[in-house]
Amino acid sequence: MRIFSVVITIAMLCSGCLGTTDFYGKTMNPKSIGTFELLDDKGDRFNLSMVDSDVIMVGFIHTSCLDECDDLTRSMNETYNLFSEQEQERVSLLTITTDPWHDDSDRLYHYKRNNSVEWPHLTVSNINSELEMIESVWASFGTSVEVSANLTNSLARCSIHLMNYTVTQTVHAVLVDVDRDVRVQWLQSEWNSESVAADIRKLSSE
């Protein structure tokens, strides 16, 4: 009888958890990403008021990154293409550079074309006045960005630009809900397009 009572007690304690929605990716503490304005790959100003979808998938890359950043871009595109046309209307994609010193709007435009994707790729218009702002954007998404000096200058990938620094970052995408809170993180190293799509569907149905 005592065992039965214990089982009933545990069931009652857990009953409030039965409706909890779990995600396949890493669940983040919901936190507002706030408002910000960046420059898109066409040279136009871009802010979140221009996005009216239920869910935003935001990726972080830089164009001089090795294959991992290209892999993330392809993974985001692959996930988006799993949705029906009706579902795609409820999802938006954005990419934000982690190397605004090098990645101007023109370079991001060519990066998009090289990777055959269409969604906005964002940077700053003036690195001197807007560096602090984009750093706060990275932080709001939990994106770690470290810049270290190179011992010797080297050519940037697919560019004649000499690089005297290296950017190390979190290569990931973050899912943002309709309230513009961060909710789910997906590292490129752990990406599964079917599972990411399932997480997006859960968020869009909330």
pLDDT by 10-residue block (mean), the chain, 206 residues: 36 38 92 94 94 97 90 98 97 97 94 96 95 96 89 53 77 97 97 98 95
Do the beta carbons of residue 51 and residue 172 sit within 8 Å? no
| pLDDT at residue 149 in the model | 80
For the chain, give every domain's residue range.
21-204
| Whole-prediction pTM | 0.85
CA distance 64 to 98: 10
| pLDDT at residue 144 in the model | 95
CATH of 21-204, one of 3.30.420.40, 3.40.47.10, 3.40.980.10, 3.40.30.10: 3.40.30.10
| pLDDT at residue 95 in the model | 98
| pLDDT at residue 167 in the model | 86
